[in-house]
Amino acid sequence: MGVPASQRLRKQSDFRQIRSQGKRIHCGSFIFQCLQRDASTPAARRLSVIASRRVGNAIKRTYGKRMLREIFRKNQEALPTCSDVVIVLRASFDTQTYAQLEARYLKACATIVKMAEATGNGAPQ
């Protein structure tokens, strides 16, 4: 099924904004970066997965990106509605099972929700 194009980050300006203003959570096998958008923007949660050559060959990078996109697709309700997420893969991601990666992702989402509630930006809907 996959993540639709409307839920993928593509603009360089979006990446820069998330990197500079977003919350960063180190999850061991990946870095989770999230930024809450204004409520006036479309409510879709958006994602991008980055895997540099340091992660491994093309097969390993593609496999990692597919796994994390699927984790996002299945668990996107765990994030606040107007969230932009960038996940940066690390080379050690393949030492983790799918379930372990999903658990780390969900833990990062829970942290983001707590931060959003603390600042009054809202919770997932």
Q: Give the pLDDT confidence score for residue 116 in this predicted structure.
A: 82
Average pLDDT score over the chain = 89
- Looking at per-residue pLDDT, the higher value among 118 and 108 belongs to 108
Length of the chain: 125
Please check the confidence at residue 124 and state whether its pLDDT lies above 60: no
Task: Tell me what pLDDT residue 40 has.
Answer: 67
- Asked whether the predicted pLDDT for residue 17 surpasses 80, the reply is yes
Domain ranges for the chain? 5-117
Mind listing the pLDDT tens digit for each residue in 67-110?
A: 999 999 999 899 988 899 999 999 999 999 999 999 999 999 99
**Rounded average pLDDT over 109-122:** 83
CATH for 5-117 is 3.30.230.10
The reply to whether the predicted model has a pTM over 0.95 is no
Q: Give the pLDDT score at 95.
A: 94
pLDDT exceeds 90 at position 8: no
Positive or negative torsion for Cα 31, 118, 18, 105? positive
What is the pLDDT, as a whole number, of residue 121? 63
Closest CA to 75 of 31, 112, 29, 120: 112
Which single residue is written with the structure tokens 């540099």?
Answer: 52
DSSP string covering 11-56, please? -HHHHHHHHHHSEEEE-SSEEEEEEEPPTTS----EEEEE--GGG-
Q: Which residues contact 116 (CB under 8 A, 6 or more apart)?
A: 36, 80, 122, 123
Band (5; pLDDT cuts 50, 70, 90) = confident
